[in-house]
Chain A
Amino acid sequence: MSAAAASPTSFASRRKRLAEVSSRHRSWSIVVGIAIVGTVLPILAAIPPFTLATPTNAWMDGFTNAGVFVLLAIGLNLVVGVAGLLDLGYAAFFAIGAYTYSYVASPFGNSILGIKFVEVVSPDIAGLVFWPMLLVGALVAALFGILLGAPTLRLRGDYLAIVTLGFGEIVPIVFLNADAVTNGTNGVGGLARPALPIIGSFSALNPWPYYVSMLVVVAVVMMLAYRLVESRLGRAWEAIREDELAAAASGINTVTAKLLAFALGASTAGIAGVFNASKLVTVSPDQFTFIVSFTVLAMVVLGGMGNFWGVAVGAFVIYTINNVLLKVLNQFFDQVSFPILKDIDFIQLQFLLYGLALVAMMLWRPEGLFPNSRRQRELHTAMTEPGEDELVTAEATSEEGQR
């Protein structure tokens, strides 16, 4: 780490000290960090420029939605960023988490399980099941992560990618066509909203309980993710990503480690699924298309693979571009009466702008917004000695690392 600091400006050194402190007191720094972000966002949403765009409540709702993607990005980062397994079907686990919640928390789901629960208790009670269901959703998704991961583990690199992509397609098709147990294309509605003992069932109109719960869930998940990555297992994953043969020669059962990466990544998606389902109070197969998998992958790559704070920021940025910025461009230029731009229908240009944004961001920062320290080191070597050979080795290493 010491070698990397080539130009010790005060900013760089301060940043480095911050990084050191945060890595020594990881859990506290996460709690503090999330608390700061969690306080700043509502304040921003409550002051003029932002309130005038959309009401504070809508902002809060948007932040909570973004939180779902932050969770997904953290989970996928475990698989892609840390363990180096390219997963293109991550939405499958998101779906599994959501449907898991629907079985316990909806009348239709209850009838499939053969129990009577949601219909007979009050919403304030039924909603309590949300909290344990976060865990159950995680476990069920992890189980499916193992089930779907098992046949793929002999595969290398992009073969793995296509198989995961296949599962990402198969799972929604199963939910779509297995009418008897999933209500098919109609999806499952009438899910119980989460509830807490004193405040009762959450309301669609008050975004605060969802927002605060989301902050807590993100903080806990991120804390656990960091603890995991800094453990023996996390080291094993990084070793596999760098050099699978050497990892095996160090005694790591690469198969089990990869399977665990799949399972744990999936469990995070399961949590996100439960949360999202409890917020939308409906699950249907069209919530879990390939585009979700891809969006989350873009968030991870853009944020900086391997860095959990980075991918969280990546998730937030892409969500904001895609679901907020691109949606308000029309009104924006209408209002400023900008000569030519106001006549353009930006809603029709969303794809184009989003595509351009992705290409531009990747060209501008190929290693992501906040690459983790290892990858930065990698890049640093390439930059200080920009000889042809050095570039080639950097590339070779990074290729090696991805597989």
Chain B
Amino acid sequence: MSENPLDNEPILVAEGVSRRFGGLVAVNTVDFTIPERAIVSLIGPNGAGKTTFFNVLLGVIDPTAGSVVFRGRRMIARPERVGFESLLWVLPAVLLGLLSGLLAEAGIVSGRLVALLGFLTLMLLVGSLLLAIIRPVWYSTALERIGIFRSARPNDMVTAGVGRTFQNIRLFQNMTAIENVLVGMHTQLHGNLLEAFLQTPRVKAEEKAAERRADDLLTLVGLHGKGNEGARNLPYGDQRRLEIARALAANPKLLLLDEPAAGMNPKETLDLVALISKLRDDLGLTILLIEHDMKVVMGISDRVTVLDHGEKIAEGTPEQVRKDPRVIEAYLGAPAA
């Protein structure tokens, strides 16, 4: 632990990530790596493209170029030959449909068999559509092998081990705090439909354990005893913490925090900084912070990256970044030399 976390193996590597909206280039060929167990920050003035970049990392929006590799697996990239995928699942059904049509025309099959073939065609069509919608891992892998690629979706990223919070808190307002955490635990629970129907001992035990763990998580973020409060009734700072607890519930390896200190008073901010350090030190998490405010991140970051107008303008230790003239210019808006 004493060694510099920046020397660790990278857990996430983003290469040449770009995202444009129409004529606007929000993120422009950004290279970005996060070493394991590091706390890195991404800062930049308003409109620098931080949140867009963040959303690309999380699979919320597709990049227009570049890719993101998480724990050795390419998760996010510009979609490739997606049109073929549609073709792939339409084609078998169309072929079968044509075939049955021809067979029926030729009088080779008739009556009930035609109906059966028609039904099969329909099932095939919808089955493959279903596959494309649910997109299990084996399906994506198989597609990737033939050169068709789609980015992981937000929930796939969670399963892979990336947790997140939102800039403007998005809790499940009408649920209690503990229910929020339990929802976050979704990927960690395995009770299936049948078990839920039968209330098997296994699923009961799992639910009990989940509630205990949710309690522990609430305690960890400092919300001990507030589990049964409605999320909407919690004070602002607590809501931020609850969101972190919810993200932690999925056992992430990498935690992405989007302006976690926004709207907090100095005292709350201090507590938060302590919590973030604790998460890394005690739970061994890797953390990416996105901040508007430079002051928040300076204390805890191992490395700070600065974005401006969608481009990476500086990267280094907080000290280095603080002194970088381009950063100062970007923040203060001094005229270019």
Which chain A residues have a beta carbon within 8 Å of chain B's beta carbons? Answer: 1-4, 27, 112, 114, 146-147, 150-151, 153-154, 180-181, 224, 227-228, 231-236, 238-239, 242-243, 245-256, 259-260, 374-375, 377-378, 381, 397, 401
Contacts and interface: CB of A to CB of B under 8 A. Distances in A.
Nearest to B184: A250
Given A150-B130, A232-B186, A252 B173 contact: no
Nearest to B246: A250
A179 to B, nearest CB: 12
Contact of B171 (A151, A227, A246, A248): A246
Contacts, number: 129
A228 B197 contact: yes
- Interface range, B side: 35 or more
A235 B173 contact: no
- The secondary-structure label for the interface of chain A is helix
A396 to B, nearest CB: 10
Given A233-B193, A250-B158, A238 B172 contact: yes
Top 5 A-B residue pairs of the complex, sorted by shortest distance between their CB atoms: A251-B158, A231-B196, A251-B187, A248-B154, A246-B170
Contact of B172 (A239, A259, A381): A239
Contacts of A378: 174
Contacts of B246: 250
Contacts of A231: 191, 196, 203, 207
A377 B182 CA distance: 20
A252 B155 contact: yes
Interface in B111-157: 112, 115, 122-123, 126, 129-130, 133-134, 153-155
Contacts of A232: 182, 186, 189, 191, 196, 207
19 contacts: A114-B112, A147-B126, A180-B115, A181-B115, A227-B196, A227-B199, A228-B196, A247-B183, A248-B155, A249-B170, A250-B184, A251-B155, A253-B134, A253-B153, A255-B133, A255-B134, A374-B174, A381-B232, A397-B173
A377 B115 CA distance: 52
B291 interface: no
A245 B196 CA distance: 25
- The secondary-structure label for the interface of chain B is helix
Given A1-B228, A231-B196, A235-B183, A242 B174 contact: yes
A242 B173 contact: yes
Contacts of B122: 147
A122 to B, nearest CB: 28
A245 B182 CA distance: 16
A231 B247 CA distance: 20
Contacts of A397: 173-174
